[in-house]
Structure 1
Amino acid sequence: MQWQDAGKGLFQLILVVVFVVFCFSISHYLESTYEPLQKNSGPARVPPVRMERFEPTPYLLTFEVTGTVIAQNSVPVMPQVSGRVTEVSPNFYPGGSFEANEPLFKIDQDLYTLAVKQATAELERTTADLALERAEIEAAVKGWRQLNGNAPVPKLVAREPQLERSRAQVEITQLQLEKALLDLERTAFSLPFEGRVISSDIAPGQYVTLGQGYGQVFDQRMMEVQTSLDPQKLYWLNQAQAPKVQVIIDSPKGQKNYTGHLARAVTNIDISTRFATAYFAFDLGGDEVLPGTFARVSITTDPHQDVIVVPADAMQTEGYMWKVTDENIIEEFHPNILSFEKEQVIIQEITAPINVVTSRLAGGFEGMVVSPRTLTQVATTNDGADDV
């Protein structure tokens, strides 16, 4: 029985050894006959892209800023003569508007009328004194000739000092009359511009004093637009030698355009916002615009040379563009951007024609070969697809 068990175990061992040798032989055979498969990648990927050729040209950069209309200056109402107010114009109240040289209020003229009469009488007196002096000089010179013949007439005999004094008296009284007339004219207070009243503190019967303020007005022709410029727009404005300015105001009667100019240069930048304040004056041409009105200012700078205008889709996600060589190979292009305008990118410092990929290219890399399609080819392809 023991012999049978030993024979059975030996048989099982022989089977295991034979199986292992068989597996080893098969494995060795497979390794010796294995040939690695060759990767069949096919032809290189040549993606189609939309491409445009751009020629550098001069470019007029136009940008807009917004602001509010303000009066350039307010003028204090100060009478030039003193007296009691006899009349006030209905336009001389807050919010009222007035014409140039329109009397805003009048001062009692009686005292100034008397001053004119007095100055006139004084002028007549000194004029008569001068005439009398000349008659006396003529008589004195005639008496000298009778006694001394053709001998030179002394100055005292010719009464030259008295003559000069009489002439001076006439000039003084003439100036006094002119001043009296001017004071009389100033009893009717007016201003030499079309304006609007900000404040008024005057009424009939009130006594007003020379040089005291009784209100504030502003010149409607001297209006400005106060705007804020970000650093980029401030740079463009400073670079322009003669920018063209248009002030645009929306009114109930429609949009109004006015020719303007930079009134005052920027002097400082706000610390918190980093914006600069600029003032643009404009010619109203007879229109009336109130302070506080919203306005837009369109500014066109001097021509920028060597500029191309590229569709915004040309800007890749990574922040650069692709330019295409004559061999249809793309290269990274980091443009010097002058401005973004709606769906366009304004690029400067382009000195030669350039081919630019104007569509997004996912997975593109430096040196990739592409299949450019111009706008005409793209349009033709789309038309063909529509026909199908």
Structure 2
Amino acid sequence: MQFLRRSLVGIFLLSVTLALFAWAGNTVRLAVQERMNAEPRSFPQRERVLSVNVVTVTPEVIAPELVVFGELDSANRLDVRALAGGTIMEVSPNFVDGGQVEAGELLVRIDPRDAQSARDRLIADLRDAEAEARDAERALTLAQDELAAAGEQATLRQQALTRQQDLSDRGVGTAAAIETAELSLSTARQAVLSRRQAEAQAQARLDQAATRLDRAQLNLADAERALQDTEITAPFAGTLADVTVSQGERVTPNESLGQLIQKDDLEVSFRLSTAQYSRLLGEDGSLINAPVTVALEAQGLTLMAEGQVTRESAVVGDGQTGRLLFAQIDATAALRPGDFVTVSVTEPPLRGVARVPATAVGANETVLVLGDENRLSEVDVEVLRRQGDDVLIRAPQAYGQQIVAERSPLLGQGIAVQPIDPNAAPVVPEAPEMIALEDERRARLIAFVEDSRMPPPVKTRIIGQLEQDEVPSNVVDDIEARMGS
């Protein structure tokens, strides 16, 4: 009997369990069918607004700068060479590497004895030539006097012949007398010819003496110059380099002794591409004297100098491109020939251009302009120059408007943004309104703050504000709002 009762209870519990499983399955089935048959719901999507930095496109007149590298050199450099050979007798104390010399200062003196001897011999030769010239001039004078005397004799003989002929015509003279007069005249004429020949010889002697005198003077001038060549002086003030000789050494003609560099007369050479070079041409196609700035940076120290372009190289050079330009720079005590410097060349100014960050211009040469409702639109621009992190653009349709300063793949045409202008004046928050509290209200607020769960530093700060004669209204409103909740 007990077994039967337990069996019936088990069957009953099993039936109830199966019924509950069936009811639960049916409930799930109905819920799934209802969900599948229900219309899909759409949730409203809020537009994503990105914050972007913006800049204002302002047209102005800007002179672009070309930044290249160049090398300094002295525009006035002289090779100090020995013009005469011999032993170096004297050397200036400043004739060393790095020595500073003044214009006209004696640098080196070579043994002048041979040159002095040669000059003295030529002085003696010059005196001989001068004496010969004087003798030849006196001989010419005598020959001219003798010629004049012979001419007078011939004239007298001619007169005697004429007189004898007149006498013979009147029947007084004789033929022998006429013949004697004719012989005398012929002798006189022969003497005149001899004197003429002597005069010509005296004139030739005088010419030879003058030539000999000129030659002696030229030789003496050469000897004087050779003697001067034994002393080497500085033609201008400068600094010495590559000095290779000392006192007592023997040098040969044209041997290099060192270099004299005028460090205050510097120029810089730099190479530009053909496109960059074309920007420095004037209306007539010639190179303009564009201003340049030379900078040498060394461990945080920047040495600078100003100058201007003066000339260009006549040839491009083997394996080179572009143009090699030279600029004369102002004197500076810090720069030296051979320094590798940064050269900034100022181009002619461009009108109606704007300077914007390079990140504002896309690869397709467009910018994103901020339009109505802070939505972006794409505008084409003309990129003229790149100046470091900025670019110079010409975009009349964007002048006076704000553009995105830093483009990203998330930005495009039609996207709404929140503009942030770094150059805008900061917004100064208004001072909070101050109110005076009644004692009862003040005590109630302080009690609420003391019983609250605020951090101790915050409690101290707020209680200090509440204990003042006037309290910010926003602080009072915030506490009372919490008290009401």
TM-score class, shorter-chain normalisation, is 0.5 to 0.7
The structure 2 residue matched to 1:157, chosen from 189, 195, 199, is 199
Retained in 2: the 8 A contact 1:316–1:361?
Answer: yes
Q: Does 1:133 align with 2:136?
A: yes
Retained in 1: the 8 A contact 2:52–2:417?
Answer: yes
Q: Does 1:54 align with 2:69?
A: no
Question: SS at 1:54's partner residue?
Answer: coil
Q: Distance in 2 between matches of 1:162 and 1:74?
A: 51
How far off is 1:106 after superposition?
0.9
Letter in 2 for 1:81: A
The structure 2 residue matched to 1:183, chosen from 207, 212, 226, is 226
Q: Distance in 1 between matches of 2:71 and 2:261?
A: 17
Q: Distance in 2 between matches of 1:74 and 1:209?
A: 22
Partner of 2:346: 300
Question: SS at 1:346's partner residue?
Answer: strand
Retained in 2: the 8 A contact 1:49–1:361?
Answer: no
- TM-score for both structures, normalised by structure 2: 0.56
How far off is 1:227 after superposition?
5.2
Question: SS at 2:105's partner residue?
Answer: coil
Please state which structure has a larger fraction of its residues in strand: 1
Tell me which moved more, 163-172 or 186-195. Answer: 186-195
Partner of 1:147: 150
Partner of 1:240: 280
Q: Distance in 2 between matches of 1:288 and 1:156?
A: 78
Partner of 1:100: 103
Retained in 2: the 8 A contact 1:247–1:260?
Answer: no
Q: Does 1:309 align with 2:355?
A: yes
Letter in 2 for 1:310: V
Retained in 2: the 8 A contact 1:71–1:218?
Answer: no
C-alpha RMSD of matched pairs (Å):
4.8
Q: Structure 1 residues 48, 88: closer, same or farther in 2, change over 3 A?
A: closer
Q: Does 1:333 align with 2:380?
A: yes
Write the deviation string for residues 24-50 of structure 1: whole angstroms up to 9, x where unpaired: xx99xx99xx9x99998899x999995
Letter in 2 for 1:104: L
Letter in 2 for 1:302: P
Retained in 2: the 8 A contact 1:316–1:360?
Answer: no
Retained in 1: the 8 A contact 2:87–2:248?
Answer: yes
Partner of 2:261: 219
Q: Structure 1 residues 154, 346: closer, same or farther in 2, change over 3 A?
A: farther
How far off is 1:319 after superposition?
6.5
- TM-score for both structures, normalised by structure 1: 0.68
Partner of 1:9: none
Partner of 2:10: none
Letter in 1 for 2:97: P
- Structure showing greater radius of gyration is 2
Q: Structure 1 residues 364, 68: closer, same or farther in 2, change over 3 A?
A: closer
Which has the higher relative contact order, 1 or 2, with Cα contacts under 8 A spaced 6 or more apart?
1
How far off is 1:95 after superposition?
3.3
Partner of 1:10: none
Q: Structure 1 residues 95, 170: closer, same or farther in 2, change over 3 A?
A: same
Long gaps (5+) in structure 1: 1-22
Long gaps (5+) in structure 2: 1-29, 156-191, 282-287, 433-485
Letter in 2 for 1:163: L
Please state which structure has a larger fraction of its residues in helix: 2
Q: Structure 1 residues 47, 255: closer, same or farther in 2, change over 3 A?
A: closer
Q: Distance in 2 between matches of 1:325 and 1:269?
A: 54
How far off is 1:143 after superposition?
2.0
Q: Structure 1 residues 102, 322: closer, same or farther in 2, change over 3 A?
A: same
Q: Structure 1 residues 134, 386: closer, same or farther in 2, change over 3 A?
A: farther
